[in-house]
Structures are given as C-alpha cells and as structure tokens.
Amino acid sequence: MAARRARIPATKYPVERLTLDNGLRVVLAPDRTAPVVGVAVVYDVGIRSEPEGRTGFAHLFEHLMFQGSANLEKLAHFRHVQGAGGTFNGSTHFDYTDYFETLPSNALERTLFLEADRMRGPRLTEENLRNQVDVVKEEIRVNVLNRPYGGFPWLKLPPVLFDTFPNAHDGYGSFTDLEGATVADAADFFERYYACGNAVLAVAGDFDVTEATALVERHFGDVPARPAPERPSFAEPDLTAERRQSYTDPLAPLPAFASAWRVPDPIDDFDAYLPYVVLAEVLTDGEASRLVERLVQRDRSVTSVGSYLGFMGEAFEVRDPTAMLLQAHLPPGGDVDKVLRTVDEELDRLATDGLAPGELARTQARMATHLLRDNDAVLGRALGVAVLEQQRGAPELINELPRLVGAVTQEQVRAAAATLRPDRRATVEVVAGAAAPAGKGKGKANK
C-alpha cells in the first residue's frame, strides 16, 4: 500500500510584479490585516561575486551602504527608520545581499526614499571605508577568531568541498585583503553590482497597490539606469573521491565535524533538488528523527546533530553549486569515523527499506509549519518574494513551497539518500583544544 503523504495546501498571498523603465524589478504583496509594512531590496551580488584579492568585500560593502547616501549624512538612515518606530538591517549571503526594514505602514514612503537614495549612491569616502574595515575586522574577531567553533562549518567546509575561488574562499575575508581595499574598489563594486537592473525591491504588508506603485515610481523612477552585469557560471565538477581535513580549535570544548554532499541545481533542477530538502529534515528534525534517535539517544556517539541545505541553511535562497550538510558535536574522545560509518548505515537503510509509516508526513507537516510561520511576518514575506524574484523570476512561488514540500514522495527521498555516498563526501573535523565542560555541544552555527 502506498505510503500516506502530507496534504498541504498552497497559500494565497497576493503577489504583483512590475519593472520600472530603469530596470528595477518590483514585487508588491499587499496584506491589510495589520498596519505594518516590510520592505526589502535585494542585490544580485554575494560572496561568490567578490574578486580575488578582495575576500570579504561583499560583506564590507554591505556595511558601507549604511554610512550615508546621495542626500543623507552618516547615520541618517538609522535615525529616520528608528524615528518612525521601525527596525532595519542588512546581510550578505553567498548569492545575494539584502537590505530591509519593518515599519508602521504610514512610514512606507520614508523607507522607499531611504532605499532609493542609497541606490543612487552611498557615501564612499576614505573615512567611511577605513572605519568599516575596522568594524568588519572586529566582527571577525568576535564571531570567528575568538569564539568556539567560529566559522564552523560555513567558512571551514567550502574549501574542502570546492576547488574554485568563488565557491571556496573565506567570505568573511582576510585582514590583509580588507585592509587593502580602496575607495576606488568600492566605487567599482557599486557601479558593477548595485545597478537598478541588478536589484529587486519588494514591499509586503498594509498598503494600497496603486498608491504604493506611485510611491515606488516617484522615488526609484529617476535612479539612473544601469544594466545588470553578466553573471558568470560558478559550476565545478562533483567529487569522485572522499575528502577529509581537520583543524584544532583552541577554544572548542568538544570535537565536531561537518560533512557535505553536492546536490542538484536548486534553480534549474528544482524538482530533483526538493527531495534533498525533505531528506535533511527526515534525518535530523526533531527527537523522533532518524539520526537524532540513533546517534544522540541510542548510541550516545554525538551530543547534537543537524542537517540542512546550503552553507547558511538557506534551502530556497541559494544557487548552484550547493550542498546538503550534516554537522555534529561529539562527546570528549568521540570517534568521527565511527559516527560517519553509522551515518552511512542509516542512509543505506533509508535508501533500501524506505521510511516508517507516518515518518514522511510528520516531517513534511513540520516543514510546512516552519515555512508558513516564516512567511506570516510581513518582513519574512518581503524578503522571500524578493529573493524568489531575483533568483527565479517567480515570487509567486512563495505560495507554492509548502505544497511542493508536501508533494515529495517516499521514493524520491529514498533515491536522494542513495546518492549520499562516501566517495562524494567532503568532511571537516574540529579537534577540540579546550577542556570539555559538562553538557551538550553547540548546535548549527550561523553567520
């Protein structure tokens, strides 16, 4: 008898698209249920796009975008957003950089002006550059150099799995590269990647579509048109033999490891990619999941384990090449090889015997719940439709993702598990250099 599948309906958030004459793509997702708006601007440039000799530059430039703009002095963006009762931030990813705000709906025009103004041009001065180089260096000290498991695995695993500079280099950057950055480098980066034609503006929440469209055209319509740069191919061959590296972390209290396997193209081969997204959750999502039950509860060979798609855990916000990751922290004296053998056994068992009754439906229901919760907030919806437009030209996919997750079959999950062989695996091991305290290790590391 066929395994019971989760029946998850699609959502019905309205999504409208338009493109301004200067090439800026705009996505509007109205929702009048609460007097708040989320605004996101996504630029098609990320860690993979930064040039050799300028590691960390995409992230550094994100900082520079907050240092004043064409008509606003330094810190004015902060003051105007917070003065309206809003919050803001930005973040750098492998394949894009985003800037976003949540505000009361009566402040929509204010934030559109602010984003349009820095799209015209940030204040790229020597003073701002040197100041933000120091800020980024301090961020690296705090988040990587002086933190247990700093950069693990999102910085440590790509150079084991990949060979090319765009995919393998340190996205936080070396101090040497950061200190060598010039205002001319920043100006060239802005001219190349921060063009209207390389950006998406998304607005979600409490607004009238006609009025919002007029506001967008008023503030962004006269931003000078520049075409998007041609995006190079970042493709590289899959592994044909297992790769292993290890390093000692003097601050880590417990040993750890992370493994990665290449997966199908998440954009051009989405149907083949989706089963891996579900497989990752089948393996480690919740106390009843396979590897948590086996490794943590029964064998006690690890203190925590998690699996996910993409080095930053962004299953639906990443391009090819990417990977499925599995990471775990071990007790003192833990045996990484033994754990990897157990993982291989469980993958073989899943590929051969399939899933237990209700296992897939339970996992898919949890995944759909997370997607629905993330999209319920107007900012989450604005960011979601912006990235879907930027990478796929399909912002309406935000409504379909829960249903598509629920449509993945047991046979697809089994087939995906069968491809995760040791000869396609890259693993980085953390050798603990600190005395181990009582209790569990840390979970998934985020940027």
Give 445's pLDDT tier (boundaries 50, 70, 90): very low
d(CA 136, CA 169): 17
CATH architecture of 16-220: 2-Layer Sandwich (3.30)
d(CA 354, CA 365): 18
Of all residues in the chain, the percent with pLDDT exceeding 70 is 96
In 3D space, the residue among 136, 169, 126 whose CA is nearest the CA of residue 62 turns out to be 136
What is the chain's mean pLDDT, rounded?
95
Give 9's pLDDT tier (boundaries 50, 70, 90): confident
Cis upstream peptide for 321 (omega within 30°): yes
Give 5's pLDDT tier (boundaries 50, 70, 90): low
CB 278 within 8 A of CB 413: yes
C-alpha R_g of the chain: 23
Q: Is the pLDDT score of 372 beyond 70?
A: yes
CATH architecture of 243-432: 2-Layer Sandwich (3.30)
The pLDDT value recorded for residue 446 is: 34
Q: Which residues pair with 443 in a beta bridge?
A: none
d(CA 95, CA 343): 30
Domain with CATH 3.30.830.10 in the chain: 16-220, 243-432
Of all residues in the chain, the percent with pLDDT exceeding 90 is 94
DSSP assignment of 248-274 equals EETT-SS-EEEEEEE---TTTTHHHHH
Residues 6 or more apart whose Cβ sits within 8 Å of residue 314: 93
Q: Is the pLDDT score of 421 beyond 90?
A: yes
Q: pLDDT digits over 52-103, tens only?
A: 999 999 999 999 999 999 899 999 999 999 999 999 999 999 999 999 999 9
Q: Strands of 199-205's sheet, edge to edge?
A: 16-19, 25-30, 199-205, 36-43, 97-104, 87-92
Most distant CA pair in the chain, distance: 69
The pLDDT value recorded for residue 4 is: 53
Q: Within 10 Å of residue 270's Cβ, how many Cβ atoms?
A: 16
Give 435's pLDDT tier (boundaries 50, 70, 90): low
Q: Report pTM.
A: 0.94
Residues 6 or more apart whose Cβ sits within 8 Å of residue 87: 81, 101, 102, 103
Cα-to-chain-centroid distance, residue 177: 24
Pair of tokens at residue 219: 């503030």
Q: Looking at residues 401-421, what average pLDDT do you find?
A: 97
Give 437's pLDDT tier (boundaries 50, 70, 90): very low
d(CA 405, CA 383): 20
Q: pLDDT digits over 125-180, tens only?
A: 999 999 999 999 999 999 999 999 999 999 999 999 999 999 999 999 999 999 99
Terminal-residue alpha carbon distance, the chain: 44
Q: Looking at residues 312-335, what average pLDDT do you find?
A: 97
The pLDDT value recorded for residue 262 is: 98
Strands 425-432 and 323-329: unpaired
The pLDDT value recorded for residue 6 is: 57
- Using alpha carbons, list the distances in angstroms from residue 142 to 136, 153, 407, 424: 10, 16, 42, 33
Q: Is the pLDDT score of 241 beyond 80?
A: yes
The pLDDT value recorded for residue 397 is: 97
d(CA 217, CA 260): 44
Alpha helices in 288-433 (DSSP H): 290-291, 336-353, 359-376, 378-392, 397-407, 410-418
- CA 325-141-193 angle, to 5 degrees, is 65
Q: pLDDT digits over 205-218, tens only?
A: 999 999 999 999 99
CB 114 within 8 A of CB 60: no
DSSP state of 106: G
d(CA 289, CA 302): 14
The pLDDT value recorded for residue 440 is: 38
Range of weakest confidence among 235-239, 306-310, 437-441: 437-441
Q: Looking at residues 309-320, what average pLDDT do you find?
A: 97
